[in-house]
Amino acid sequence: MNKLIYSLPFLLFHYGSYSQEIKNNKIDSNFTHSFSLGWSNPLSYISTNMTNSSYNDSIFGILIDYQFLDEKKTINRLHLKFSPFYLNSNLTMSNFLVSYTKGRTIHHKNKINFIHGLGAYYKCNIYRNKQVSGIPAKWSSDYYGLGLEYYWSLDYLLKNNFFATILMTINLGFHQDYDPTIFNNNNSQEYWTFKTANQQIFSLAIKKML
């Protein structure tokens, strides 16, 4: 059953890329580039701030997205999201994720675009410790992960080639974690596991066609 669930996005991508013709087009199709800025974690941000259950997910998440259309009408998408936090001159970017995907329009009518795609992602947490006299600032990272990303988005035309975007992503891959019950020289034991990265499944953004 789990294999079927994990395979579903890839089956949908294969089928949807060829099954839906574009018709009743009222969106200007001459634009081949777009830039999006948005909120990467609205659901986890609201729920965890109500319950105070997770420090990382209680930080406001930022989404940056660039897309371009190639000669085959494939949507090439470079996607970046993270939750920044700055305290005592120390910078933390938790749930930092960058992905590159290729997608297709599966429905395009009037003011609405439905798009989906598939690609690869890399994630981690990034830290920058403050600089002190004679010592440069130190960068570090942990909780790495990499794997496949499937995304689905709905774009609604607002005005002058500005769109409101609802984005859903599924990330499945290998992720670094630590066992809090095993200690070695006061450090917990590192291990890797195959799982979904589900911190930021649902996102909201504003897209501008360029």
pLDDT tens sequence across 71-99: 888 999 999 999 999 888 889 999 999 99
Domains and CATH numbers, the chain: 2-86+94-118+146-172+197-209 (2.40.160)
What is the predicted pLDDT for the residue at 128? 93
The Cα–Cα gap between 120 and 173 comes to: 9
β-partners of residue 122 are 98, 146
Q: Which helix (H) or strand (E) holds 147?
A: strand 138-159
Distance of CA 46 to the CA centre of its chain: 18
Note the pLDDT tens digit of each residue in 94-148.
999 999 999 999 998 889 999 999 999 999 999 998 877 767 889 999 999 999 9
Are the beta carbons of 94 and 125 closer than 8 angstroms? yes
Structure tokens at 173: 């891959």
Between residues 188 and 94, the one the model is more confident about: 94
The Cα–Cα gap between 177 and 189 comes to: 8
Average pLDDT score over residue span 17-21? 38
The Cα–Cα gap between 192 and 183 comes to: 16
